[in-house]
Amino acid sequence: MSAETVNVSFIVPAYNVWKYLEKCIASLQAQSLDSFEIILVEDCSLDRTLTLAQRLAAKDERIRLIRHTKNRGLGPARNTGLDHARGKYICFVDSDDWVDPGYGEAFYLEAERTDAEMVVGTFYAVFSQGARIASHFVDPAVRYATLPFNARTCPAVLSMPTPVWDKCYRRDFLDRHNLRFPALIGEDIPFQWEAMTQAERISVVGEPFYYYRIRDSQKNRSLTAGRGIFADVFLAQEKALTFLVTSGNYEEYKEIWWERMIKELLHLTEKSGDTLILDNFVAKVFYMMLRRSLEPVNFSLLNRAYVPDHVLFKAMFARECASWKEFQDLVARSYPGKHQKNPFFLGAGKLRMVLTQHDLDADESGRSYLLTIAKHEVSQTHYPDLPEYVAASSDAQRIVLLPPVHDPEMDSARVSIQLTGDGTKRLWYFISCAQATRRSELAIFQRVLGPDREVIAEKKTVLHVGEKILLSSLDLPEGESVESFTFEFFVKCLSGFPAWASDVTISNFYGEGS
């Protein structure tokens, strides 16, 4: 196959994947694209991957097998593939994943139609050995674009998932900017920031063609290997941040950077939470590095549509809590393995679907470390001068409060709650007011009440104009459980009457100590 006829080069690094490699390569061989090559980079596997790769390459001239002389890792293996690629466009495919037949052609035709330097796509996440498939769709701000764009004209593209395998790159664009992967776990992070902020023409394929296999990454992994994961991801973050700063792009994209950084670092508490729980050295260092990374973040500027509440809570808790041990305890109590019930099976014979409680729960609170509101009382549901607006309400997860809108002397609606769950030291929770049009400064009053409704502890938190979310807490009497008390909340407006767009939500209750 001559260089002039290669439309797309599929780069497939392979290391210890003999169980999965044949399916991956077969899905690429079945591509509907007219002209392509498969560059298979064998990275000194310890299993039968090399033997299988040699057999596959011997049967198909479109497969070019390149062997490393020593194990170098995923990033360098991709770089080796780039150095040998002849295609006009590059697609990266991980060797334990697979793709639909139209994967390459969809990217190729879209890139040709728009003269794009980069085409972004989406993927299916495959869980439980293929039993559960979840689709990840492109942000609507990106998905329905019909004309090429870039990060300046459509910043939402920077909020897309980091992996490179659901994207396509023009090879001369990568070569012109010398875009290569570092020898780190988390190698996608700096690569994507460099690519997305330098591409002048980006296009999109809105339908998923890629199947990302989620394997149990904790099996056969030592604590030493776990330490390496944390170190590498922080180094990858530092490399990406350095590029943004030196290229002059940090100020323009810093809010999106914060969102991505928070999600990627806190993802480690789920992906490698066992290491954080068992290795105190890692927990201490991770806590220190995380707090340093979070120091410049203004949480009120984050787009909460891109940062799930449980991730945001961990980030805010890490910055506010007193010690690494408290953060380690939060990780231990929120780590999926601790709450995951034993799997059970549906079907028989050829159809045997593995289901777990994680798969089945529609309500996250059923497997969450968060507390649940077991009982609530509302002092008044409406203010006399605003009967059309609800002054106070509550459900099992949150409280919503409205301050008196016109009269600062009017009694505020109050909500008293009793919680169920663990916690013997401190109660933490979000205080948020998301309305961008708010012009009032709000005071949120929080109290711990005893059995006779006597005030045991209280505090006032001010939500300034422009602040959208804060993390607050109430100290509990020593040795007492969070379930032993009633907690009361109400809101007053300090300035900016009338207090329109001032609904305050109190949520994500977490009891520290157990």
The DSSP bridge partners found for residue 492 are 443
Mean pLDDT of 284-303: 93
pLDDT surpasses 80 at 236: yes
In the block, residue with structure tokens 């979070």:
294
- Burial zone of 207 (CB within 10 Å; 0-12 exposed, 13-18 middle, 19+ buried): middle
The dihedral built from the CA positions of residue 20, 26, 29 and 33, taken in this order, carries a sign that is: negative
Q: pLDDT higher for 354 or 468? A: 468
- Cβ atoms of residues 401 and 413 within 8 Å: yes
Sheet of 98-99: strands edge to edge?
98-99, 210-213, 123-127, 132-136
| Selection from 103-107, 226-230, 284-288, 382-386 with the highest mean pLDDT | 103-107
Q: Which residues contact 215 (CB under 8 A, 6 or more apart)?
A: 96
- Cβ atoms of residues 162 and 107 within 8 Å: no
CA-derived radius of gyration, the chain: 26
The DSSP call for residue 212 is E
Q: What is the CATH number of domain 372-512?
A: 2.60.120
Could you give the C-alpha distances from 377 to 103, 119, 155, 358, 393, in angstroms and in order? 55, 53, 44, 32, 9
Lowest mean pLDDT among 10-14, 58-62, 437-441: 437-441
Torsion of CA 41, 101, 91, 98, to 10 degrees: -50
Mean pLDDT of 406-433: 93
State what percent of residues in the chain have pLDDT above 70: 89
Type and span of the H or E element at 326: helix 324-334
Three-state DSSP state, 445 = strand
The DSSP call for residue 252 is H
Mean pLDDT of 134-145: 76
**Residue 19 binned pLDDT confidence (cut-offs 50, 70, 90):** very high
Mean pLDDT of 150-157: 93
Mean pLDDT of 31-48: 96
Mean pLDDT of 496-503: 89
pLDDT surpasses 90 at 245: yes
- pLDDT for 362-407, tens place per residue? 333 334 578 999 999 999 999 999 999 999 999 999 999 999 998 8
Note the pLDDT of residue 337: 55
Note the pLDDT of residue 4: 61
- Burial zone of 155 (CB within 10 Å; 0-12 exposed, 13-18 middle, 19+ buried): middle
Amino acid identity, position 359: D
The DSSP bridge partners found for residue 204 are 120
- pLDDT for 69-81, tens place per residue? 999 999 999 999 9
pLDDT surpasses 90 at 215: no
The DSSP call for residue 155 is G
Cα separation, 330 vs 513, in Å, equals 9
Domain 3-213, CATH number (from 3.40.630.30, 3.30.1280.10, 3.40.50.150, 3.90.550.10): 3.90.550.10
**Residue 219 binned pLDDT confidence (cut-offs 50, 70, 90):** very low
Note the pLDDT of residue 440: 94
State what percent of residues in the chain have pLDDT above 90: 71
Could you give the C-alpha distances from 440 to 82, 389, 507, in angstroms and in order? 56, 18, 21
pLDDT surpasses 90 at 459: yes
**Residue 21 binned pLDDT confidence (cut-offs 50, 70, 90):** very high
- pLDDT for 307-361, tens place per residue? 888 899 999 999 999 899 999 999 988 876 544 444 443 443 333 333 333 333 3
Taking Cα atoms as reference points, which of 438, 439, 443, 435 lies closest to residue 492?
443
Q: pLDDT higher for 192 or 226? A: 192
pLDDT surpasses 90 at 126: no
**Residue 472 binned pLDDT confidence (cut-offs 50, 70, 90):** very high
Note the pLDDT of residue 336: 60
- Cβ atoms of residues 165 and 24 within 8 Å: no
Mean pLDDT of 399-428: 93
Cα separation, 494 vs 78, in Å, equals 58
Mean pLDDT of 428-435: 93
pTM for the whole thing? Answer: 0.83
Query: If you count them, how many residues does the chain have?
Result: 514
| Mean pLDDT score across all residues of the chain | 88
pLDDT surpasses 90 at 120: yes
Note the pLDDT of residue 463: 95
Angle between helices 280-294 and 324-334 (to 10 degrees): 100
pLDDT surpasses 90 at 217: no
- Cβ atoms of residues 403 and 456 within 8 Å: no
- pLDDT for 174-190, tens place per residue? 999 999 999 998 899 99
Type and span of the H or E element at 287: helix 280-294
Residue 489 has which token pair? 């909340």
